[in-house]
Amino acid sequence: MRKTSSYKVMKKTVVGITVVGKDREGIVAAFTNFAFSRGGNIEKVNQNVIKNLFGMYLEVSFSKKLDVKKFDIEIQKLARKEKMDVNTHHETNLEKNIAVFVTKEPLCLQTFIANRKSLKGKISVIIGTEKSLEPIARKAKIPFIAVEEKNQTKAEEKIIDICKKYNIDLISLARYMRILSPNFVWRYPNRIINIHPSLLPAFPGASAYAQAYERGTKIVGVTSHYVTENLDQGPIIFQDSFKVDPNDTLEKIKSKGQKLEADTLLKATKMHLENKLEVRWRKVHIKSK
């Protein structure tokens, strides 16, 4: 067994590689062999196929100094040869670029902007399905781009280009009312955080507050989780709750819940940016100091 000093482990370079494209034989071998030939050690590998769409995430570590620029150029040559869309994500101590996706509910976005100085990252762009929240972004002097394309495939093509332009490391869905396809989600594994208005796995899907109200629940909560192709079934990051008064109306419950949603999404985002989270076997583990 190879022995590695703790010093080298601390200093190793880790590169995340996402590969997305039409499914066919030989793709896994092509990219794992590429990593091995550059002296990399495969730390994680995950692959999925849905309706002839192939997605793979490789996490590769290098114990020796890596020429990041050269590595990226060479892997893009391989991507063109294999006709796959490939992105690399390098874990560094540099300020992370955050994209906030929105629709028309303002509270999550307002909370993010009000607390942005406490984030170990920069809100680089706000992407909306409509222009309702553009004035909030303009006031905060953050670029706002509306992608109003109704066809989700075409909309995601535009969003992918925007995320590449702003070199996005993390995406927070601040009440973003569109379902992201595997073609998009697989490009940002464990780097898209969503908020759901219930204590998952209870009351998944739409109208969670109405379901809770109708069932007469005594506690209502919210869940922040990483996004996967399985909608509300991604690894849970953080949950919080509030008590329901017997006299609370549905509107009162929604009001309480929306405030908690914003706070919970912000907390989960902070935890990610502070490198406190690790996903193992579909569960989120809080790293010890």
Distance CA 84, CA 79 (A): 5
Classify the phi-psi angles of 216: left when phi > 0, otherwise alpha if psi is within -120 to 50, otherwise beta.
left
- DSSP 8-state class, residue 189: T
Q: 41-48, long-range: CB within 8 Å, 24+ apart, which pairs?
A: 43/14, 46/189, 48/182, 48/186, 48/229
Q: Give yes or no for a contact between 101 and 171, defined as CB atoms under 8 angstroms apart.
A: yes
- 130 and 104 in contact (C-beta within 8 Å)? yes
β-sheet with 41-50: strand ranges across: 41-50, 53-62, 13-22, 85-90
The single residue listed with the structure tokens 């874990």 is: 91
Q: Which amino acid is at 66?
A: L
Q: Which residues are catalytic?
A: 232
- Give the span between the Cα atoms of 85 and 108, in whole angstroms: 32
